[in-house]
Amino acid sequence: MNITIRQLIYLREIARSRSFTEAANRLHTSQSNLSTAVKALEDVVGLRLINRSTKHFELTDSGRSFLAVSERVLDDLQAALESTSAISRLERGTLSVGAPTTHAATYLPDIIGRFHRKHPNLELRLHEVQSRELLNMLRSRDIELAVGTFRNVGSDIMTKALFEDELVVMAHPDLKVSGFCTWRDLLRLPLVSIVKTSSVGQMIEETAWDSIQQRFKPLMEVESWMSVVALTESLRAASIAPKKVAEQTRLRAGGALLQIHPLHRPKISRTISVAYLATHSLTPAAQAFVTLLKNSREEDHAET
């Protein structure tokens, strides 16, 4: 069967106009083209759709039944085109983004606010999950974008670096940490740390061993940065944290007394990236969000 959309449109306009001449004028084509299209349609269907005479025509019973179905097809197609067009114009759609709680609470709120103001009709869903869950959520298509620190991703995942987040020392003032704090100095102090299963926890453990061949043995390991900050304060200890986390989380977690110092020998940072499936094209909403992420970091860099 080889029925075309054009044939259905021609049949509908002929029925509405009740005139081949008027239908041809409205469709900006010739009467012979209309006749040829209807004849081809009848050949495919195997039934006469129009009774013709020299003075008038009318739809057959089969023609009326076929027209009713074809009008629904055309209406559904038009609705699909309008919906797709609205999505491409960012007037409709849903975007699911995954990120660790730290990013959801510190870095992303400003981005999400700007995105919502720019595209108020788009629905954005933010999933707060642990970093190790993000890639699986991408692969299962529970989210379209993931924001975080990614190491050893597969070929099916595409990442775009957004910015570098330096690791710094947060220390209770009682420790009298020097403004020039090295890893060797730091590892002599009582420490609170994020768990080793996190991306930053892995970096801390690897750097401690690679730089001074010493195992990292904190007093406590916890799951969230809010807990790291609060316990560093209460235990009068020190901790290693990304600079963005240290600056924005310590006041919220009751760590106002904690001092922030650069960490030296070596200086290390984590790369914050946006990740998505390499095997799937991004939706217009996802493309717009990625552009906003990149532009935001470029603006921040220009200001500094």
User: What confidence tens digit (pLDDT) does each residue in 60-105 have?
Assistant: 888 889 989 998 998 888 878 877 776 666 767 889 999 998 888 8
Q: Is the pLDDT at 126 greater than 90, yes or no? A: yes
By three-state DSSP, how is residue 180 classified?
Answer: coil
With residue 136 as reference, give the H or E element that holds it: helix 131-139
C-alpha dist (Å) from residue 283 to 84, 90, 97, 228: 11, 10, 12, 37
Does the pLDDT value for residue 165 go beyond 70? yes
Question: What's the pLDDT at 117?
Answer: 94
Which pLDDT value is given to residue 171? 92
Q: Please answer whether residues 172 and 258 qualify as being in contact, where contact means their C-beta atoms are separated by less than 8 angstroms.
A: yes
Burial 261-300 (b: 16+ CB within 10 A, else e): bebbeeebbbebbbbbbeeeebbbbbebbbebbeebbeee
Rounded (5°) CA angle 199-201-202: 65
Q: 49 to each of 65, 129, 213, how far by Cα in Å?
A: 9, 60, 87
Q: Is the pLDDT of residue 244 over 50?
A: yes
What pLDDT score was predicted for residue 304?
46
| Residue 203, both tokens | 């970096």
Q: Are strands 220-222 and 238-242 parallel, antiparallel or unpaired?
A: unpaired
Q: What is the pLDDT of residue 180?
A: 87
Residue from 191, 209, 203 nearest 131 by CA: 203
**pLDDT at residue 225, as a whole number:** 87
pTM over 0.85: no
Q: Which domains does the chain have, with CATH numbers?
A: 5-88 (1.10.10.10), 92-304 (3.40.190.290)
Tens digit of pLDDT for each residue in 171-220? 999 999 988 899 888 889 999 999 988 888 888 888 887 877 778 889 99
Q: Is the pLDDT of residue 295 over 90?
A: no
Task: Check residues 238 and 199 and name the one with the higher pLDDT.
Answer: 238
The per-residue pLDDT for 11 is 86
State residue 62 phi and psi, 5-degree precision. Answer: -65, -40
Q: What is the mean pLDDT of residues 251-263?
A: 74
Output the pLDDT for position 252: 58
More confident residue, 157 or 85: 157
| pLDDT at site 87 | 65
Do the bridges between strand 191-194 and strand 181-182 make them parallel or antiparallel, or are there none, so unpaired?
unpaired
Work out the mean pLDDT of the chain and round it to a whole number: 86
Q: pLDDT tier at 302 (50, 70, 90 boundaries)?
A: very low
For residue 106, name the pLDDT band (cuts at 50, 70, 90). confident
Q: How sure is the predictor about 32, in pLDDT bands with cuts at 50, 70 and 90?
A: confident
Residue with the bigger pLDDT between 211 and 111: it is 111
